[in-house]
Amino acid sequence: MRYRLPSLNALRALEAAGRRGSLSAAAKELGVSVGAVSRHISLLEGFFGRTLLRRQTSGVEPTPDCVAYLASLARAFGEIDSASHRLATDRQRDNRLRLRFYSTFTTEWLAGRLSDFRALYPDIHLDLSLSIKDAEWRDDDFDMALTGRPPQGDDFRCDRLFDTYLALICSPALLKGRQWIEPLDLERETFLTSPRESELWLPLLSALDVRQFPQQHHIGFDSLSMTYQAARQGAGIALGNLFLIADDLRARRLIMPVNQIFDAHLPHYIVTRRGRPDGPALTAFRTWLLQVTRDAEVQLDALVQGYVRRDLPIDPKTMGSGTPPACRAGLD
């Protein structure tokens, strides 16, 4: 059968532009110029004899005829991706997983447990890509990713990994024999902050009735893991994700100086692609990771017995949008 198909590159340009609603965004995704994307779309419009994308000041919008075509293209590219992935998979690749995880989760929690996984599955190779940002879900090539903002749609499977409980944390030496720091005494302390959790500082301080400290000292770091390390060394008070630092709390390298913990209602998920076969390596790692995180949550729950638990007054849907309130408060 001889297929009557337009240029594959032109189809890729159309699908990307239609999905992203922007020629420039499509050009960035494909690694070409905006002019090249525009020419590809013009080529297709000539091929089909009709307008496919309406140019607007805010971007591009597919015409009604093009909407169904874009959906078919997305399905076709998804099937090609899955088939190509299966064809490229050999025995060695079956045992190699590409993982895209947050840096702090990996360094603070996962790294110390990987030897247990290696003991169980010595033939499985893990390639870890670390970032403080979420994956570009349709563009990045990964077998599993970690996120607090799961992708929408049916292309991905999301499994809840752990919940996010927050508390102020510091070195025991910072308390100088005191059992607690009263919220009003926090004005005299130094805060250790990073962009990752900057949006959470202001609502947490407000919940503690610590509303405005214009002279508050703070030190900004590039990563959440760096704030934890500085807190261990007695540099100040950090905002801790209790799941990640439970080992430190158990060993009393870190303590919670205020008798309150907050549920942020921001669960973290592991994400895999539905269109690709899991394979024995991915199945083994997924099963192991879900089990060890469940065990860790049980241990954490026992560790924080006796602390006052409260909901953190935030809207999870707004997290990551706009200017973080902690940035406006000078805490980032």
Q: What is the pLDDT of residues 38-82, one digit of tens each?
A: 888 888 888 888 888 888 888 888 988 888 888 888 888 888 877
93-160+267-292: CATH topology: D-Maltodextrin-Binding Protein; domain 2 (3.40.190)
Hey, what are 72's tokens?
């078919």
Q: What is the pLDDT, as a whole number, of residue 320?
A: 45
Q: Is the pLDDT of residue 329 over 90?
A: no
Do 8-88 and 93-160+267-292 share a fold? Answer: no
φ, ψ of residue 289 to 5 degrees: the values are -65, -40
Q: Is the pLDDT of residue 83 over 80?
A: no
**How is the chain split into domains, by residue range?**
8-88, 93-160+267-292, 165-264+299-328
Nearest to 42 by CA among 33, 34, 32, 52: 52
Q: How far is CA 163 from CA 104, 122, 262, 277, 320, in A?
A: 15, 30, 11, 28, 18
CATH class of 8-88: mainly alpha
Please state the pTM of the whole predicted model: 0.67
Give the HSE-up count for residue 17: Cα atoms under 13 Å, Cβ half-sphere: 34
What CATH code is assigned to 165-264+299-328?
A: 3.40.190.10
Q: What is the pLDDT of residues 227-286, one digit of tens each?
A: 999 999 999 999 999 999 999 999 999 999 999 999 999 999 999 988 777 788 999 999
